[in-house]
Amino acid sequence: MNKHLASFLKLAISLGLGVGLIYWFVSKMTPEDIALTKDAFSRANYFWILLAPLLGFVSNFSRTERWRMLLEPTGHRPDFWNTYFSVVLMYFFNLLFPRLGEVTRCSILARYENVPLDKSIGTMVVERIVDLISIILVGSLVLFVEYDTLYAYFNETVLNKKASEPTETSYLKWIILGSIVLIGLGGAFFVQHKYGFARLKALLIERLKGFAEGLKSIRYLRQPFMFVFHSVFIWVCYFLMVYFSFYALPETASLGVFAGLACLFMGGFAMVATPGGIGVYPAMISQVLVLYGINSTIGYAFGSIVWVAQTGSVLVGGALSLLLVAIINRGSSLAKN
């Protein structure tokens, strides 16, 4: 019961954050901002917007093949299409409930391909590590190349503002900071009282060892070069999804490669902050594009257009995958009966 309650609270908090951000952004909009947003939606070139979801489906081919490569050393080589549909369904069910997609993905292979859950879950740990390393590399590259732009923005919006802000705002910042510290101390006291830090430390060490073992399993791959190729190709597709979307609006059409990488990096974190990035993704993209001289309202409209297209493609792709995975396995299900 406690587990279900904790899961429900996590979902409620993340959804509340997303909906709250949408409300906050919309409530701050002037009538001119609302008109500008509607205008951006009406004049966007949806050829480029719809190209992004297609690239997402293409990236899933590499994600599918990479997963099959990881499963091969365990003695399993699942059918390509069952694996592909399970990957698409992972994104679909993650929109409904955090981490439900990962469970569904592994359950499909367990049901139709006889891949044990522990083995498929173990390979997903490796996938997560590789994806984490990839996004850290993207972020490091953006920080290295765009350091001056980021510093100038921080200096203008934070350091210079600090001196001119009224005292009440400064007090508010200290109240918020104090609240965060109190919540942190309260959380630490709760962990110490219920579990003890020794147990928490042991758990963290165990998890780190599991990650290390997961990385070591890559050496058993039959085609390590292809594994690297698919890993790189996935992130190239993710980048192109953002970069090509820039051409949808005249205001963003001239943005370059590093603006795309910055949106990819921050958008990646937005997607895990709330289910499907609801509320957070457009807000995050808006703030990133401000760095490159794009009006924040246009940036928010652009992020919203991209988010709607991607979320719609996940819903459509998930619904089709549910149907197709049932159809292609109908014969095997009848044979079992």
Q: pTM of the predicted model, to two decimals?
A: 0.77
Q: Is the pLDDT of residue 155 over 50?
A: yes
Provide the residue range defining the domain that includes 97: 22-164+224-329
Alpha-carbon distance 34 to 27, whole Å?
10
Q: Is 152 contained in some domain?
A: yes
Token pair of 310, please?
Answer: 């991607």
Q: Which helix (H) or strand (E) holds 132?
A: helix 117-145
Give the largest CA-CA distance in the chain.
Answer: 75
- Residue 270 located in a structural domain: yes
The answer to whether residue 170 sits within a structural domain is no
Q: What is the pLDDT of residue 189?
A: 65
Task: Please report the pLDDT score of residue 86 as a whole number.
Answer: 94
- Quick check: is 115 in a domain? yes
Token look-up 């399970």 returns: 86
Residues 262 and 146 sit within 8 Å (Cβ to Cβ): yes
The model's pLDDT over 195-232, given as tens digits with 9 standing for 90+, comes to 566 666 666 676 566 556 555 566 778 888 899 999 99
Residue 132 inside a domain? The answer is yes
Q: Let me know if residue 9 belongs to a domain.
A: no
Residue 14, in any domain of the structure: no
Q: How many domains does the chain have?
A: 1
Hey, what are 321's tokens? 């995958």
Q: How far apart, in whole angstroms, are the C-alpha atoms of residue 270 and residue 276? A: 8
Q: What is the CA radius of gyration of the chain?
A: 22
> According to the model, what pLDDT value does residue 262 have?
92
3-state secondary structure of 253: coil
DSSP string computed for 200-247 = HHHHHHHHHHHHHHHHHGGGG-S-HHHHHHHHHHHHHHHHHHHHHHGG
179: pLDDT strictly greater than 50: yes
